[in-house]
A and B are shown apart, each in its own frame.
Chain A
Amino acid sequence: MGDKVFKIAAAVAATYVLAIIVLMVFQLINGSSAIWSKEGISFLTGSSWNAVEGRESYGAAPYIAGTFVTAGLAMLIGVPISMGIAMFMSELAPKFLRTPLSFVIELLAAVPSVIYGLWGIYIFRDYVRNWIEAPLNSTFGNSVWFLSGAPFGLDIFTASLVLAIMIIPTISSISREIMIAVPNSQREAAYMLGATKWEVFKMAVVPYSKSGLVGASILGLGRAVGETMAVTMLIGNATGSSAFPSSLFAPGQTMSSIIANEFAEASAGSLHLAALIGIGLILFIVAIGINIVAQLLVSRVLKAHEGAVLA
């Protein structure tokens, strides 16, 4: 009897998750249908964004591009640093340091994004503008296209830097778990062959945990793609074709930031609201895709690990 009740309760709980997802997709499609029927595929490829009554036209391409550029830059900066942190914690750090370090890293992962945003806009931005952007711009601004523009401190570059800082804790703590999961027999075998610490890492740990590390990075990518508050505060929020990421030092816009910016004042039933919900749908699909890939990769490495223990 108790078993049956438990079974049913668990099944209901599981259905709840599915139901939420289905309802969410339904609502997103339903709410954005007006924009798909008006703009069609050009909603994905167009770049004009005009909410003035009578001249409405919407294209999400600059924001899709902005999302991938900021997330990509954040990965470019964040992943190598995260791997270094994870490697240090799993391979090199003395025993007494490992627990407090990993605790601090996990603590960083729990800092709300609005805190990163506030820090970024009030403190970090000035340093970025004065110490990085202005010198780079005055030296290379005329010759290198992605360093041109007028450094403002509120642009794609600053947003990407802060995003990188935000995804480092996520990626490094998962990568550490995965590296620790590598059986010691692997390391011992490499040491036996006379390998140095770096060679052990390169030959024993990395090949064994490769897909898991990729999965950890993709989870970080997922966070970077969906991140809203910090990006909205730092990216400069351009709209329309000027939001196309043309330079690191130009203001841009991501999918989540334009929703955060304009949703509250979009009047109910308007095409503007439908366009924002349409962007929400695109973001949802991108986020789900990224997470599925990450889950597959992480679960593959964990399965392999179990296999190793059994063998």
Chain B
Amino acid sequence: MKKTFLAVALVLLLTVPAATMPARAQTSGQSYTITGAGSTFIFPLMDTWRVQYNNLHSNIQLNYQSIGSGAGINLLEKKTVDFAASDAPLQPNEEAAAPGVLTIPDSLGGITISYNIPGVNGGLKLTGPVIAQIFMGKINSWNDPAITSLNPGVNLPNQKILIAHRADGSGTTYAFTDYLSKVSPDWKSTVGQGKVVPWPVGTGAQGNAGVANIVKTTPYACGYVELAYAYQNNFTYAVVQNADKTAFVEPTIATVAADAAAAGSNLPTADGDWSQVSIVNQPGDNAYPISTLTYVMVYKDMGQISGETPDKAKEVVNFLNWIVNDGQQYATSLLYVPLPDSIKKIDQQGLAEIQFNGSPMSAVPEFGPVAALVLAVAITSIVVVSARTGLNLAPKL
């Protein structure tokens, strides 16, 4: 009798914790490390997401390596990471090397034209074609008529413009040259668009921080840097003419979001072809034209990632769902731009499509509750059988 009692206690001991596990335990609650790699631009936000998500779900660790977008995509092609993060969409040759990848926009960035002209405040007015000419070296002095005519009343010095640009391959360059190619046929035909372009003039620096450092320390320098870096360094930056040519728009979180919201309705679905996607130069009085999306990329069928299990894949999807929804609240404080609802919807639809070896995620059997049930039935039957027959089937206690 004592034995039976002990066995019942054992059953309770094993099943009660399993049954009281929080409602989220659609997944097993086991510890997993989600791996991601790619964009350096998103890293500060990704790192905040890692910490915040781990506070909510202590069993999930994120190992994100900010090794550059191209290298991240390379790892995704080799199927060694759960997701990649990139500032530029997959190009046709990359799409061919990694078929079946979903493109999930996870944040937005604005690119400022920052300058350092002693005696001149922020808010210099520039149009797209003028910016293109400056970065091509065709306008090489700050008091060129093309600039002064846009800025009556501003006392611009007769000094050479020193251009600073990115030397490393970069999603920021991709978006900036995308904009210049759209507004200047001259730029499109002589320089073009890419992560690395043949700059006609200027000094190259590593990363946004490198360009920011040049602009900061060099009088009469001008460079393109991400919004966050321009704010952090208290740069003076240009207000840029919008696509409708109705106003000059200051780069802020609100104006970049306005540009992205205008683009939202024209974007493809997550499993579509994103290679030509661009959100620069969208209509709207308040839309800052030099804006860019940054993405996470994940296989639609996660079963092909090496070492992936259905449970872990589910955790990856949960995490990605969290970053495009709840996670967006952390963007603003780090000077990233939160996704507008139209883009969130694309993400949610895309993430709902993720499968594991052909079967949708929700149909994958869940370990936690099922295993607890099986365990309870097994132990109860052992107890019952041993009590009825008098055979000692229960483990010796």
A residues with a Cβ closer than 8 A to B are 48-55, 121-122, 125-126, 150, 152-155, 232-233, 236-240, 242, 251, 253, 260-262, 264-270, 272
Bound together, the chains give a CA A264 to CA B196 distance in angstroms of 11
Q: In the complex, what residues of B have CB within 8 A of residue A272's CB?
A: 196
Structural contact, A152 and B199, CB atoms closer than 8 A: no
Contact B203 A269 (CB under 8 A): no
For B197, give its contact among A52, A233, A267 (CB under 8 Å): A52
A189 to B162, CA, bound (A): 61
Alpha-carbon distance A268/B91, docked complex (angstroms): 11
Known contacts A49-B198, A150-B160, A152-B203; A264 and B214 CB within 8 A of each other: no
A259 to chain B minimum Cβ distance, whole angstroms, is: 11
Residue of A49, A152, A262 touching B162 (CB-CB under 8 A): A152
Q: How far is the CA of A269 from the CA of B206 in the complex (A)?
A: 24
A261 near B199 (CB under 8 angstroms)? Answer: no
User: Given A126-B217, A237-B203: A55 and B196 within 8 A (CB)?
Assistant: no
A294 CB to closest chain B CB, in angstroms? 31
What is the CA–CA distance of A125 and B217 in the complex, to the nearest angstrom?
10
> In the complex the two chains form, is B170's CB within 8 Å of A265's CB?
yes
Question: Please, how many angstroms separate the alpha-carbon atoms of A238 and B168 in the complex?
Answer: 11
B233 nearest CB across to chain A (Å): 14
CB distance from A262 to the nearest CB of B (A): 5
Q: What residues of chain B lie closer than 8 Å to A266, measured between beta carbons?
A: 70, 169, 196
Q: Which 8 A-B pairs have the closest CB atoms?
A: A265-B169, A237-B204, A264-B68, A237-B167, A265-B70, A52-B192, A52-B194, A236-B203
Residues of B within 8 A of A155 (CB): 203
- A154 near B67: Cβ-Cβ < 8 Å: no
Which of A122, A240, A262 is within 8 Å of B169, CB to CB?
A262
How many Å lie between the Cα of A125 and that of B210 in the bound state? 13
Q: How far is the CA of A240 from the CA of B191 in the complex (A)?
A: 12
CB B210 to nearest CB in A, in angstroms, measures 8
Within 8 Å of chain A (Cβ to Cβ): is B201?
Answer: yes
Instruction: Kindly state the separation between the CA atoms of A265 and B195 in the bound complex, as whole angstroms.
Output: 7
When distances are taken between beta carbons in the complex, the residues of chain B under 8 Å from A265 are: 68-71, 168-170, 195-196
Query: B90 — nearest CB in chain A belongs to which residue?
Result: A267
Determine the distance from Cα of A233 to Cα of B73 in the docked complex, in whole angstroms: 26
Choose among A52, A152, A233 the residue that contacts B218 (Cβ–Cβ < 8 A): A152
Q: Using A232-B167, A240-B198 as known contacts, say yes or no to A55 and B205 having CB atoms under 8 A apart.
A: no
Count residues on chain B whose CB falls below 8 Å from chain A CBs.
Answer: 39
Kindly report which residue of chain A lies nearest to residue B193, judged by CB atoms. A52
The A-contacting residues of B in range 166-198, CB under 8 angstroms, are 167-170, 191-198
Assess the B93–A153 pair: CB atoms within 8 A: no
B67, B94, B198, B203: the one contacting A267 at CB < 8 Å is B94
In the complex, whether B200 has a CB less than 8 A from a CB of chain A is yes
Contact assessment for A262 and B168 in the assembled complex, using a CB-CB cutoff below 8 Å = yes
**By the criterion CB–CB under 8 Å, are B196 and A267 in contact?**
no
Chain B residues, CB < 8 A from A267: 70, 73-74, 91, 93-94
A51 with B203, Cβ < 8 A, contacts A150-B162, A265-B69, A270-B93 known: no
Inter-subunit contact A239/B67 (CB<8 Å)? no
- For residue B380, CB closer than 8 A to chain A, the reply is no
Pick from A238, A261, A270: contact of B206, CB below 8 A.
Answer: A261
Are B204 and A269 neighbours in the complex by a CB distance under 8 Å? Answer: no
A-B contact pairs, 17 of them (CB 8 A): A51-B196, A52-B191, A52-B194, A121-B213, A237-B203, A238-B202, A240-B198, A251-B202, A260-B168, A261-B206, A264-B71, A264-B169, A265-B69, A265-B71, A266-B70, A268-B77, A269-B93
A-B Cβ contacts below 8 A, count: 110
**Interface assignment of B10: CB less than 8 Å from any CB of chain A:** no
Which residues in B have some Cβ–Cβ distance to A below 8 Å? 67-71, 73-74, 77, 91, 93-94, 97, 160, 162, 167-170, 191-206, 210, 213-214, 217-218
The 8 Å CB contact of A55, one of B77, B94, B97, B192, is B192
CA distance A6 to B20 in the complex (A): 61
Name which of B69, B196, B201 has the most chain A CB atoms within 10 A of its CB. Answer: B196
Residues of B near A242 (CB, < 8 A) are: 199-201
In the complex the two chains form, what is the Cα distance from A140 to B200 in whole Å? 26
Residue in B closest to A270 when the chains form the complex, CB atoms: B93
How far, in whole Å, are A48 and B160 apart by their CA atoms in the complex? 26
Query: Which residues from chain A contact B196 at a C-beta distance below 8 Å?
Result: 51, 239, 262, 265-266, 272
8 Å CB contact of B91 from A49, A53, A55: A53
Cβ-closest chain A residue relative to B197: A52
Evaluate contact between B195 and A239: CB separation under 8 angstroms.
no
Task: Return chain B residues, CB-CB under 8 Å to A232.
Answer: 167, 206
Closest to B96 in A: A269
What separation, in Å, do the CA atoms of A122 and B216 have in the docked complex? 11
Chain A residues, CB < 8 A from B71 = 264-265
In the complex, how many angstroms separate the beta carbon of A162 from the nearest chain B beta carbon? 15
Q: Given the complex, which residues of B lie within 8 Å of A240, measured CB to CB?
A: 198-199
User: Can you name the residue of chain A whose Cβ is closest to the Cβ of B75?
Assistant: A268
Q: Given A52-B194, A155-B203, 9 other A-B contacts at CB below 8 A?
A: A50-B197, A52-B198, A55-B192, A154-B203, A237-B204, A239-B198, A253-B204, A261-B206, A264-B71
- Nearest residue (CB) in B for A232 is B206
| CB within 8 Å for A153 and B197 given contacts A52-B192, A268-B74 | no
Looking at the assembled complex, report how far the CB atom of A114 sits from the nearest CB atom of chain B, in whole angstroms: 11
Contact of A238 among B204, B214, B218 (CB under 8 A): B204
**Cβ of B201: which chain A residues have Cβ within 8 Å of it?**
242
Complex: chain A residue closest to B70, CB-CB = A265
